[in-house]
Amino acid sequence: MTSSAPFDTTGRAHSELMRSENQMSHSISRRAFKASAMATALCASIGSVAAQVTDLRPPTVDTSNPEEIAEGVWIVRDHRIWLVPNIAIILGRDAALVVDTGLGPANGERVLALARRLAGSRQLILTLTHFHPEHGYGAQVFRRDASIIYNRAQRDELIEKGARYIDLFRKTQSPAAAAALDGTEIVMPHVVYDGSRAEIDLGGRTVELQTFGTAHTRGDQVFLPRERTLFAGDLIEERMFPIFPWFPPADTEVDGLRWVSVLNGFRRLDPALIVPGHGDPGQIGIALNLASQIETVRRKVRALRAAGKTAEEIIREDKPEIIAATPDWEHPDLLDWEINYFAAQPS
Q: Which is nearer to Zn ion, 132 or 305 (CB)?
A: 132
CB of 31 to Zn ion, least distance (A): 20
CA distances from 221 to 207, 218, 238 (A): 12, 10, 17
Mark 271-283 as b/e (b = at least 16 C-beta within 10 Å). Answer: bebbbbbbbbbbe
CB of 132 to Zn ion, least distance (A): 3
Q: Which is nearer to Zn ion, 132 or 190 (CB)?
A: 132
Between residue 104 and residue 163, which ones bind Zn ion under the rule CB under 5 A?
132
What gap in Å lies between CA 253 and CA 215, rounded to an integer?
8
Q: Which range of residues in 4-12, 51-59, 221-229, 231-239 is near Zn ion by CB under 5 A?
A: 231-239
Per rule CB under 5 A, is residue 234 in the interface with Zn ion? yes
Question: Are 275 and 282 contacting, i.e. CB atoms less than 8 angstroms apart?
Answer: no
Q: Which is nearer to Zn ion, 89 or 232 (CB)?
A: 232
Q: Which range of residues in 34-42, 48-56, 87-95, 234-242 is near Zn ion by CB under 5 A?
A: 234-242
CB of 247 to Zn ion, least distance (A): 12
Q: Is 288 helix (H, G, I), strand (E, B) or coil?
A: helix
Closest CA to 172 of 333, 315, 297, 29: 333
**H or E, element range at 168:** helix 152-172
What gap in Å lies between CA 244 and CA 258, rounded to an integer?
13
Q: Which is nearer to Zn ion, 9 or 129 (CB)?
A: 129
Q: Which is nearer to Zn ion, 110 or 216 (CB)?
A: 216
Dihedrals φ, ψ of 247, to 5°?
-125, 65
What gap in Å lies between CA 229 and CA 248, rounded to an integer?
35
Print the binding letters for residues 294-313 with Zn ion: x by CB under 5 A, - otherwise: --------------------
CB of 211 to Zn ion, least distance (A): 14
CB of 216 to Zn ion, least distance (A): 6
Residues at the site binding Zn ion, with contacts judged by CB under 5 A? 132, 234
